[in-house]
Amino acid sequence: MKIALAGNPNSGKTTLFNALTGKTEYVGNWAGVTVDKKVAAIKNKYQIAKEPIDIVDLPGAYSISPYTGEEAITSDFVLESKPDVIINIVDGANISRSLFFTTQLLELGIPVVVALNKADIITKRGDVVNGHELEKALGCKVVTITATTEKGLADLVTTAVNIVGTNQERLNFNDLDGNNDVARQTWIKTILEKSLNKKHNASHVNFSDRIDMIVAHKWFGLPIFFLIMWGVYSFSIEGLGGFLSGYLNDVVFGEVVPNALNSFFEGIGVNPLMQALIVDGAVGGVGAVIGFLPLIMVLFFCLSLLEDSGYMSRVAVIMDRYFKKVGLSGKSIIPMIVGSGCAIPGVMATRTIENENEKRMTTILTPFVPCGAKLPIIALFSVVFFPNTSWVGPSIYIIAIGVIIIGGLVLKKLFVWEHTSFFIMELPEYKIPSIKNAIIQMFDKAKGFIYKATTIILVMNTLVWFMQAFNWKLQATEIQSESILASVGSVIAPLLIPLGFVGWQLAAASITGFIAKENVVATFAVLFAMASEEALHVPGGALAQMFTPVTAYAFLAFNLFTPPCFAAMGAMNAEMGSKKWFFRGLAFQLSVGYILALLITHIGTLVIYGETAVGFIPAIFVLIAYAVGVTFLIKRANASKATLVEATE
């Protein structure tokens, strides 16, 4: 038996889905969080029918005639897969708007039960809903629930199961004269007059509006956003998160675990090479990554609270003013916020953008937002090269915003884009964020992080260890520079010279980073910590010998702003739906990271140390070639814009 959850965006479908199935799908306080259909079996507790019940969570929709890609997923599913029953989630904080979609669902001939959600908000506002009147008018069952506390869910499931196979009365607006959308609205207004008793009228300036006057203000909005982000990132990277990670890195993975393993292996007399593989390669590399787990957990806990409070939707409004100028829309910010967790769902979230050009641009620009996997690199460089400072983490996010805005401008110049579209986004009311939800999201992220570290990163690291310990004749070698890894890295290393990065190790680490960004840290752990017998993340250690603080910052930028990991590239390819655009996007990302690192190294070294960095002359040649290339592309774009104008005249 299939029960579909359908309703407006942000009405609480995924919250209900998670409560009914025990899953931990992404819940956020904004419209357009779910962009894909999700199916799961109902929890035993609610399994009351003879046959197994499956719950289907759908993206939010305002109407059955789809306007955006993810709305189409919902209407296609409802119209074609014919669920046995639809639970229509009506947002109790926004009843009259939600009922428009309800009237359309009630025309389909599929049994519908209305779940009037967010009953807690209705009660808090002092509104009164007359459920019987509403049932009479709609001709279907109405069950009042609070998805967040699971109140009323058993009743809801029972009601839904009981109407499976029944012939529900259909509403019909198609026979009416004139515009049937207007007819629906008028009808909804009449039935709500009888069934809803509102305490406040709509024109009342409420608490949310008052906060918005400040945080979404024309001038204050952006500085407030920066301050909040600064607080969150420095708390996570340098504050509590950094402190806990330092302990894990120094004590647990720096001493306790390797010492215990070494004495265990020495005790049973294992082959020293085998011992090194396990202790230095596998455990050392994975440990260097896992050490950053607390930092990731603290960050995602804070971000989840911020998001659930409703603030992030305001950020979309603030950003819209700036984004419009560069050919993006305020809606582009949502994929980017999601992308701060992981670029893959971030890129998938571009589906909510209707305009094809805005969607492509957002897909290309979203991976520039530092994701969770990039945090360990940021944290490592911050500790080793800039100890006791708090600006490195936040500065990376400010650069990311700059890269996105300037990148948008450049993309607009390089390719032919149409005009930008309007941006309408509904703002949910502010609320006290749910700690429970934040904890769930935090552990979910932690689980993903550990899973990745103990699978793909473990495998990669064992391989990296092997490649640095053996030469091409498969003989164990004490001299790293004669190893397989060194010879592979040396092929790529010359490309990094114009950036001021010298050493095959840096090339090797960057390459492993494309498999998973955490690998950069893990590879460094194998290459440097082992050789010097000291922990990777100490200031002045082996890693510190490879860079000056300026080139270290440039290397950080290089790894963060070149293309994302392979999995995220796959998502880009899927969402672009065009190989041409996919490769254009990759080329763009690669050149952004490369040129950015080049500029940081050379300008930074000149300004701060008053001398030229390694690779200064090659860098000049690269810049000239780059400028020529970009000018050519802009000329070409202008020419095709001109032919486009001629053709339309």
Ligand X SMILES: Nc1nc2c(ncn2[C@@H]2O[C@H](COP(=O)(O)OP(=O)(O)OP(=O)(O)O)[C@@H](O)[C@H]2O)c(=O)[nH]1
With respect to Mg ion, which residue has the nearer C-beta, 11 or 245? 11
Number of H helices, E strands in the chain: 30, 8
Using the rule CB under 6 A, is 95 a contact of ligand X? no
Among 21, 34, 159, 483, the residue binding ligand X under the rule CB under 6 A is: 34
With respect to ligand X, which residue has the nearer C-beta, 148 or 357? 148
Using the rule CB under 6 A, is 512 a contact of ligand X? no
Shortest CB 622 distance to ligand X, Å: 44
Shortest CB 401 distance to ligand X, Å: 24
Q: Give me the DSSP letters along 372-424.
A: GGGHHHHHHHHHHHSTT-S-HHHHHHHHHHHHHHHHHHHHHHHS---------
Cβ atoms of 8 and 62 within 8 Å: the answer is yes
Q: Which of residues 465-494 bind ligand X (CB under 6 A)?
A: none
Shortest CB 343 distance to ligand X, Å: 19
As a whole number of angstroms, the distance between CA 175 and CA 610 comes to 80
Residue 35: name the closest of 5, 57, 66, 20 by CA: 57
Token readout for 146 is 């609070």
If contact means CB under 5 to 8 A according to the sort of partner, which of Mg ion, ligand X, none does residue 434 touch?
A: ligand X
Q: Choose the binding region for ligand X from 5-13, 202-210, 284-292, 294-302 (rule: CB under 6 A).
A: 5-13
Q: Which of residues 63-92 bind ligand X (CB under 6 A)?
A: none
Q: Choose the binding region for ligand X from 13-21, 229-237, 533-541, 550-558 (rule: CB under 6 A).
A: 13-21
With respect to ligand X, which residue has the nearer C-beta, 146 or 159? 146
If contact means CB under 5 to 8 A according to the sort of partner, which of Mg ion, ligand X, none does residue 21 touch?
A: none
Using the rule CB under 6 A, is 33 a contact of ligand X? yes
| Residue ranges binding Mg ion (CB under 5 A) | 13-14, 33-34
Give how far Cα 464 sits from Cα of 161, 307, 503, 514, 522, Å: 55, 38, 16, 14, 9
Using the rule CB under 6 A, is 543 a contact of ligand X? no
| The residue count for the chain | 649
Burial of residue 132 (CB within 10 Å: 0-12, 13-18, 19+) is exposed
Residue 519: name the closest of 285, 281, 284 by CA: 285
Query: In the bound complex, which residue of the shown chain has the CB atom lying closest to ligand X?
Result: 60
As a whole number of angstroms, the distance between CA 241 and CA 461 comes to 25
> Alpha helix locations (H) across 168-216?
180-195, 207-215
55: amino acid identity, one letter:
I
Contact string (CB under 6 A) for ligand X, positions 288-327, x = contact:
--------------------x-------------------
Using the rule CB under 6 A, is 605 a contact of ligand X? no
Using the rule CB under 6 A, is 11 a contact of ligand X? yes
Shortest CB 436 distance to ligand X, Å: 10
Shortest CB 290 distance to ligand X, Å: 30
With respect to ligand X, which residue has the nearer C-beta, 11 or 75? 11
Among 21, 29, 304, 332, the residue binding ligand X under the rule CB under 6 A is: 29
Among 90, 134, 137, 147, the residue binding ligand X under the rule CB under 6 A is: 147
Q: Look at the alpha carbons of 42, 44, 50, 52 in this order and tell me if their dihedral is positive or negative.
A: positive
Q: Choose the binding region for ligand X from 8-16, 106-114, 311-319, 593-601 (rule: CB under 6 A).
A: 8-16
Among 3, 31, 116, 572, the residue binding ligand X under the rule CB under 6 A is: 31
As a whole number of angstroms, the distance between CA 20 and CA 29 comes to 19
Shortest CB 207 distance to Mg ion, Å: 25
With respect to Mg ion, which residue has the nearer C-beta, 25 or 133? 25
The conformation of residue 474, written as its DSSP 8-state character, comes to: -
Cβ atoms of 509 and 502 within 8 Å: the answer is no
As a whole number of angstroms, the distance between CA 360 and CA 247 comes to 42
As a whole number of angstroms, the distance between CA 594 and CA 590 comes to 6
With respect to ligand X, which residue has the nearer C-beta, 34 or 249? 34
With respect to ligand X, which residue has the nearer C-beta, 102 or 483? 102
Token readout for 230 is 């600064």
As a whole number of angstroms, the distance between CA 286 and CA 459 comes to 10
Shortest CB 135 distance to ligand X, Å: 20
Q: Choose the binding region for ligand X from 146-154, 373-381, 532-540, 583-591 (rule: CB under 6 A).
A: 146-154
With respect to ligand X, which residue has the nearer C-beta, 121 or 492? 121
* Residues 6+ positions from 28 with CB-CB distance below 8 Å: 307, 308, 312
Shortest CB 318 distance to ligand X, Å: 19
Residue 66: name the closest of 55, 78, 49, 81 by CA: 78
Among 3, 4, 6, 13, the residue binding ligand X under the rule CB under 6 A is: 13
As a whole number of angstroms, the distance between CA 576 and CA 570 comes to 10
Using the rule CB under 6 A, is 121 a contact of ligand X? yes
Count the Cβ atoms, other than its own, within 10 Å of residue 86. 28
Which residues in this chain contact ligand X in the complex, by CB under 6 A? 9-15, 27-29, 31-34, 59-60, 117-118, 120-121, 146-148, 308, 431, 434
